Amino acid sequence: MEGNKIDSHTVLYGVIGDPVRHSKSPIMMNRAFRETGINGVYTAFHIQDESLRDFIAGVRAMGIRGVNVTIPHKLRVMELLDEIDEGARVIGAVNTIVNDNGRLIGYNTDGIGYVRSLKEEAAPNLSGKKITVIGAGGAARGIIYALLGESPAGISIVNRTVERAEELASSFAGGAVRLDAASNDRLEELCGDADIVINTTSVGMFPNVEESPVPGEWLKPGAVASDLIYNPLQTAFLKGAEARGCTAHGGLGMFIYQGAYAFEYWTGQSAPAAAMREEVLAALRA
């Protein structure tokens, strides 16, 4: 399909972060605009903390329609917006901003993007499943929020600092799903009991590709091993899990679908997810 011609009607979108030059979002989102024929262009803005307020003023002044937000701005940007979606408020982080005629609304598409990917690629039905989540940071929070909507039997949160796991579990307590917190000394036991084990930490990310949060033999055969990391596409954790007879689920789908949901919030059109995946895969393999 012919690429978009930038003209006086082109709408601006972008991603902010510090750092941001490594981001694959621009190639993915510009492919989405080309596929759908939307006259938009998406670029990366390297915004440091002291410039964040000025950038948000610029979004209003320039009519930038949509912004993705990455580390370290996901929390602080919330105080600069006009409205926070319920999901983003509960998670405590925003990764997508929609500029609705000068009114800035914050969303979080990480968790819903992850669950959509998990269901499509590895576990179509999450109801009644025992899930172990490794890590208790911002990524874990978004994922647990989205998983709670799928009626799992229970979620165990395991973290090196057990207080962080307890804090995360208590923030979602009171619903129908049982949430437990544990320290790493129970990791082997909880992985062996789980139907799905999710790594939300950075252990195994490029360049430390030999590292794994848990050995594959700790998982029960037939379980799903899921990793949020997508560089490398198959981590040491997933290789070990596959050797154990588990289903491996990498992090690329989460990245694609968090972007797809953002695209849909901004444009009101269905995102061309297959084309977006193709573009990111080509870049990762280049």
Of how many residues is the chain composed?
286
The Cα 109–Cα 29 span in angstroms is: 15
The Cα 84–Cα 135 span in angstroms is: 25
The Cα 186–Cα 83 span in angstroms is: 40
Three-class SS state of 96: strand
For residue 217, the one-letter residue type is E
Binding positions: 23-25, 70, 86, 95, 110, 135-139, 159-164, 228, 230, 251, 258
Tell me where in the chain the CATH 3.40.50.720 domain(s) lie. 111-250
Diameter of the chain by CA atoms?
60
| pLDDT, position 62 | 97
| pLDDT, position 3 | 54
Catalytic residue among 5, 74, 119, 129: 74
Question: CB 27: neighbour CB atoms within 10 A?
Answer: 14
Tokens 């940007």 -> residue: 77
Q: Are 102 and 60 in contact (CB under 8 A)?
A: yes
Q: Where are the beta strands (DSSP E) in 96-149?
A: 96-100, 103-107, 130-134
Q: Rounded to 5 degrees, what angle do the CA atoms 45, 47, 82 make?
A: 95
Question: CB 197: neighbour CB atoms within 10 A?
Answer: 30
| pLDDT, position 5 | 84
The CATH topology of domain 111-250 is: Rossmann fold (3.40.50)
Strand partners, 285: none
Q: Where are the beta strands (DSSP E) in the chain?
A: 11-17, 40-46, 66-69, 83-84, 96-100, 103-107, 130-134, 154-158, 178-182, 196-199, 224-227, 247-249
The CATH topology of domain 11-108+254-285 is: Rossmann fold (3.40.50)
Distances (CA, A) of 207 to 62, 83, 229, 239, 280: 38, 38, 12, 16, 18
Tell me where in the chain the CATH 3.40.50.10860 domain(s) lie. 11-108+254-285
| pLDDT, position 174 | 87
241-244: list long-range contacts, CB under 8 Å, 24+ apart.
241/197, 241/216, 242/216, 243/216, 244/216, 244/217, 244/219
- Using alpha carbons only, how large is the chain's radius of gyration in Å? 19
| pLDDT, position 4 | 67
Is pTM, for the whole model, over 0.75?
Answer: yes
Residue 119 annotated to the active site: no
Please list the pLDDT of the chain residue by residue as tens digits (286 residues). Answer: 455 689 999 999 999 999 999 899 999 999 999 999 999 999 999 999 999 999 999 999 999 999 999 989 999 999 999 999 999 999 999 999 999 999 999 999 999 999 999 999 999 999 999 999 999 988 999 999 999 999 999 999 999 999 999 999 999 988 999 999 999 999 999 999 999 999 999 999 989 999 999 999 999 999 999 999 999 999 999 999 999 999 999 999 999 999 999 999 999 999 999 999 999 999 998 8
Helices 252-267 and 110-121: crossing angle in degrees, nearest 10, is: 120
Three-class SS state of 274: helix
Binding positions for shikimate: 23-25, 70, 95, 110, 230, 258
| pLDDT, position 1 | 47
